[in-house]
Amino acid sequence: MKRMTEAQLSELEQDFNAIRDQVVADLGERDATYIRRIVRLHRTLEVAGRITMPFGFIPPVFVGATLALGLSKIIENMEIGHNVMHGQYDWMNDSSLHSQSYEWDTVCTGESWRRTHNYEHHTYTNIIGKDRDYGYALLRLDDDEQWRPRHSLQFINYILLSVFFQWGVGLHELESERIRRGEIRVKDKLPFLKDFFRKGGRQAFKDYVFFPLVTLPVAPIVLAGNIGANLIRNLWSSTVIFCGHFTQQAETFTEAECEGESRGHWYLRQLTGSSNFTGGKWVHLLSGHLSFQVEHHLFPDLPAHRYPEISEQVQAVCQKHGLPYNTGSFARQYGSVLKRIAAFSLPDRIRTRLPALSMAHAT
């Protein structure tokens, strides 16, 4: 992370605060219309997928129904649920779009997400030992974690995490690594586990029991389509999140260098620890506009559809202060993620001898 004086950090804070204030002052009907239109799109796709799925014995219909339901789940999770629970639309005073009451279509409970993501991750972004989202307690992505033989298999863990991503996120608050180390006991997590199994059970029942049963003659087809839709959502959402956090250019930080940090330093950390990827409007929509992860980490409570508009201003601030703005094509950023996972699966004595993998680093 670039070293900046307190005066420079103060100026950086003022520059980013000005961008935020400008958007807040302009919030209004345009933003309300946007999110309500996205909610209608999500519902339309879900209804279309559910209604046509029983006719999935016709292969093109099966593909279309599964894709429609998968897209519905992606939009609900990424552009609606994630962003609503950040408080991006609290100013509307609409209980159906309020951060504290919204419950999304995924295994993770809203309360757990608000604790582990909104508070823990966004407060301590990429601080090793504080941000448990960094590697999800499964992947070694940094020099600060000592290599162990189990890390040689972390690509398998990555694939499994991606396939079952909603369940991995749902169980994140269990803090399994702390249980393994004996720091906490399973019984300490019983209230969390009770909520998790209640929500997870409802989700599993809905997709894997209820909808197949009400279409009993074609239940296997509906079950297969629902599994496919959840798989589409899991693979896409995990890939988007990894591209925003775990590219080789995304920096990590120690607790010591972030102790007592100012707001300007917090902005600097969010900026240098995040990665964007480019794409068209549909790519941005389906990513929940986390294709602008830099902007999201800087301004998590601003409506995400505003990020493309303010990205040029953010880049201008970066240029003014000589700071990096990490962006690239989706393929390039995803390739960088895979390279980082592969690099840190190797013992350090091997990784450091391979120039192609030596770019992965921590700061």
pLDDT tens figures, 307-335: 999 999 999 999 999 999 999 999 999 99
Domain ranges of the chain: 6-166+197-343
Q: Which helix H or strand E contains 361, and what residues bound it?
A: none
Q: Which two tokens stand for residue 213?
A: 């049963």
Q: In whole angstroms, how far apart are CA 325 and each of 1, 123, 178, 225, 248? A: 12, 20, 35, 40, 13
What is the end-to-end Cα distance of the chain in Å, rounded? 7
Query: For position 358, what pLDDT does the model report?
Result: 52
Closest by alpha carbon to 34, among 312, 281, 236?
A: 281
Instruction: Please spell the DSSP secondary structure of 116-154, one letter per residue.
Output: IIIIIIHHSTTBTTT-TTSSTTT---STTSPP-GGGGGH
Per-residue DSSP letter, 147: P
pLDDT tens track of the chain, all 363 residues? 778 999 999 999 999 999 999 999 999 999 999 999 999 999 999 999 999 999 999 999 999 999 999 999 999 999 999 999 999 999 999 999 999 999 999 999 999 999 999 999 999 999 998 999 998 888 999 988 899 999 999 999 999 999 999 999 999 999 998 998 899 999 999 999 999 999 999 999 999 999 999 999 999 999 999 999 999 999 999 999 999 999 999 999 999 999 999 999 999 999 999 999 999 999 999 999 999 999 999 999 999 999 999 999 999 999 999 999 999 999 999 999 999 999 999 998 888 887 665 544 444
List pLDDT tens digits, range 141-189.
998 889 999 999 999 999 999 999 999 999 999 999 899 889 999 999 9
Query: For position 110, what pLDDT does the model report?
Result: 96
Contact (CB, 8 A) for 80 and 106: no
Tell me the whole-structure pTM to 2 decimals.
0.95
Query: For position 137, what pLDDT does the model report?
Result: 85
Q: In whole angstroms, how far apart are CA 259 and each of 74, 124, 245, 273? A: 37, 11, 21, 17
Q: Which two tokens stand for residue 105?
A: 């279509």
φ, ψ for residue 160 (rounded to 5)? -65, -40
